[in-house]
Amino acid sequence: MPLVILWEDLYIMKINGKTQLVGDKVILVPYKKSHVAKYHKWMQSPRLQELTASEPLTEEEEYDMQKSWYEDDNKCTFIILDKGCFEETGSEEQSMIGDTNLYLNEDEGKSVAEGEIMIAEMAFAGKKRGWEAMLLMFRYGVECLGIVKYQVKIGMSNTPSICMFKKMNFCTVSESQVFKEITMESEVNETWRTWLNENTKHFSIVPHENEDLG
């Protein structure tokens, strides 16, 4: 199922900028300027800084980061909305609960991606929102970006994430004592793709009107 990525297909974030993914309990929308203020507030949390191995930024730096992600051809980012909250309020900002990313790469000419997931709103932790959002992102990567292998890097102390990716049929391929993290991978073979489709029965790709991305 490998897909050759042509030059005109490389503007991943810009394509993603007009796309939303709709699942059962979550909606994934492009990361926009209007999301930055809440995202910046999240990232002041020492807990989230540790889980994401990131340093705190100023709000101005966060806006610059959002713009750079939009312009980077090798990054695909979605903000996770709680679907129920969004249907009730109609507000993306009020419905934001986290984000999910793919970092695109090549391995021996094949398209691979490193995945990330963060549920920032503690009220939604442990309620399968992260599980669904990550699987929606993986399916989008397979069907629209031609991804043939996924990789995740997780802090050794992040037991819930390690357990989640094991349930997604990822296997540990290496451990770094220096960075205190493990690397897990999953090949997009027919068996895994069938499992992915069975676990994303609520999956649709719809247009997203977006005026404030870059």
Query: Which pLDDT tens digit goes with each residue over 11-48?
Result: 445 667 889 999 999 999 999 999 999 999 999 989 88
Please choose, from the candidates 151, 159, 149, 61, the residue with its C-alpha nearest in 3D space to the C-alpha of residue 101.
151
The one-letter amino acid at 192: W
Task: Confirm if 139 and 176 have CB atoms less than 8 A apart.
Answer: no
Q: Hey, where are the domains in the chain?
A: 8-206
> Span 121-145, mean pLDDT?
96
Task: Confirm if 41 and 67 have CB atoms less than 8 A apart.
Answer: no
Q: What is the mean pLDDT of the chain?
A: 89
C-alpha 54/C-alpha 120 separation (Å) is 14
> Span 41-62, mean pLDDT?
88
41: CB partners within 8 A, 6+ apart: none
Please name the residue that has the structure tokens 């073979």: 189
The tokens describing 44, both together, are 């002041």
Please choose, from the candidates 95, 100, 167, 86, the residue with its C-alpha nearest in 3D space to the C-alpha of residue 139.
100
Please name the residue that has the structure tokens 């992915």: 196
Query: For 196, which DSSP code?
Result: H
C-alpha 34/C-alpha 124 separation (Å) is 21
| Residue 156 pLDDT > 70 | yes
Residue 149 pairs with which residues in a beta bridge? 112, 187
CB atoms within 10 A of CB 178: 6
Q: What is the pLDDT of residue 84?
A: 97
Tens of pLDDT, residue by residue over 66-98, are 988 888 888 999 999 999 999 999 999 999 999
Please name the residue that has the structure tokens 């002041």: 44
Q: What is the pTM (predicted TM-score) of this model?
A: 0.89
Class of domain 8-206: alpha beta
